[in-house]
Amino acid sequence: FDKAACAITQATVSVNWRAYGLNQPKNSLPQGPYIIAVSVVSPFIKFKNASKETIDASDELVEEIRRTLIQAGQRLSKHIRREVKEADLEKKRQHIEMFAPILVDGACRITKSPKERRIKALDGLAKILGRDAALAEQELAVAIEHAEEAVMKMGQVAGILPSAGEDGETEAPETKPSKAIKKKRPAKPKAAKEKKK
């Protein structure tokens, strides 16, 4: 079938995807790790052939699809710029992490500073770069504690977990002794009993 005759393909090719950060050879579909999915829903869609593989490219339909793709491209452009900016920032952080200890060692040797001063300088760099492991572990422990408290409260409200008493000890939930359930056998009809006799 003729893909190029489809309204969706014509609208996609007509958009300048390079303006949104994608590669696009001249008069062709954009290239890259993205999928463009267009859904056209109407009871009056005109198809090119009986197999309904291509939509008839009326000017009005192509223009509507094109406008929608431009809006999607603008949102995609923001996402791509954000990804590039974050990758660039991470690359800069890695460079600083690589060369900062060398600079700190050199400065400590020149000024003849004690070892404690060097350790404080490296800790300060880690905090500036947001890579302070001790602080991250402390924040994680606090978050885990809050989560456990929330789970306990939800369990107590739902009646799944025992509630805490005034002295902090948990009280066991009240349980009622279960009664044995006797199964009743279905009664035989009287007519069946009489036939046996």
Is 50 exceeded by the pLDDT of residue 155?
Answer: yes
Q: What is the pTM of this model?
A: 0.52
What kind of fold does domain 3-130 have according to CATH? Ribosomal Protein S5; domain 2 (3.30.230)
pLDDT in tens, 128-139: 777 666 666 788
> How confident is the model at residue 177, as a pLDDT?
47
- Helix or strand run (H / E) with residue 106: helix 59-111
Average pLDDT, the chain: 80
At 71-103, the pLDDT tens digits run 999 999 999 999 999 999 889 888 888 888 888
pLDDT in tens, 13-39: 999 999 988 988 988 889 888 888 999
Assign 178 a pLDDT band (cuts: 50, 70, 90): very low
Please state the rounded mean pLDDT for residues 101-124: 87
Residue 64 has what pLDDT?
94
Q: Tell which residue, 45, 56, 44, 70, has the closest CA to residue 9.
A: 56
Q: Nearest-CA neighbor of 55 among 111, 115, 108, 9?
A: 9
Per DSSP, the residues of 121-188 read HHHHHHHHHT--HHHHHHHHHHHHHHHHHHHHHHHHHHTSSPPB-TTSPBPPPP-PPPPPPPPPPPPP
Q: Looking at this protein, which amino acid is placed at residue 191?
A: A
Domain positions in the chain are 3-130, 133-161
Residue 124 · residue 117 · CB < 8 Å? no
> Is pLDDT at 179 greater than 80 in this prediction?
no
Give the three-state DSSP class for 47.
strand
